[in-house]
């Protein structure tokens, strides 16, 4: 007895079953608590990332600026000024902008989801 599907790699053991759309489970709607929780986590995570990046960039610019100031003035400089006067204010400004931007994007996405 010759196997008809041997050339294609398909034998009698391989069958194709069709699932009709009526047999599929209906898609569940996400609950309001789930939507609010995931949106809050996304906003806070985005804010945290941008705040950390702002702190790093501000600290780098503060250190470079402090070193250049020290070279020009020819005096000892206090590197804590890079943190106090540049890095922390930069992180606060960038973090605030990230929070507002992330909230605006989440509200816009929510409005698009509910209008469909």
In a domain, 63, yes or no: yes
- The secondary structure of residue 84, as a DSSP letter, is I
Structural domain boundaries, residue 50: 42-115
pLDDT, one tens digit per residue, over 45-103 is: 999 999 999 999 999 999 999 999 999 999 898 999 999 999 999 999 999 999 999 99
In a domain, 89, yes or no: yes
pLDDT, one tens digit per residue, over 16-47 is: 666 555 555 566 788 889 889 999 999 999 99
Please check whether residue 71 is in contact with residue 63, taking contact to mean a CB–CB distance below 8 angstroms. Answer: no
Spatial distance between the Cα atoms of 67 and 83, rounded to a whole number of angstroms:
13
More confident residue, 86 or 12: 86
In angstroms, the first-to-last Cα distance of the chain is 58
Q: Give the number of domains in the chain.
A: 1
């Amino acid at each position: 007895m010759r196997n008809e599907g041997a050339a294609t790699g398909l034998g009698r053991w391989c069958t194709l079953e069709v699932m009709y759309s009526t047999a599929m489970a209906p898609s569940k709607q996400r609950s309001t608590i789930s939507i609010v929780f995931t949106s809050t986590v996304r906003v806070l995570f985005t804010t945290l990332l941008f705040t950390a990046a702002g702190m790093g960039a501000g600290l780098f610019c503060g250190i470079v600026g402090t070193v250049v100031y020290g070279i020009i003035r020819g005096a000892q400089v206090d590197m804590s000024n890079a943190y106090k006067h540049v890095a922390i204010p930069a992180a606060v400004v960038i973090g605030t902008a990230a929070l507002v931007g992330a909230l605006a994007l989440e509200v816009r996405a929510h409005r698009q989801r509910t209008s469909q």
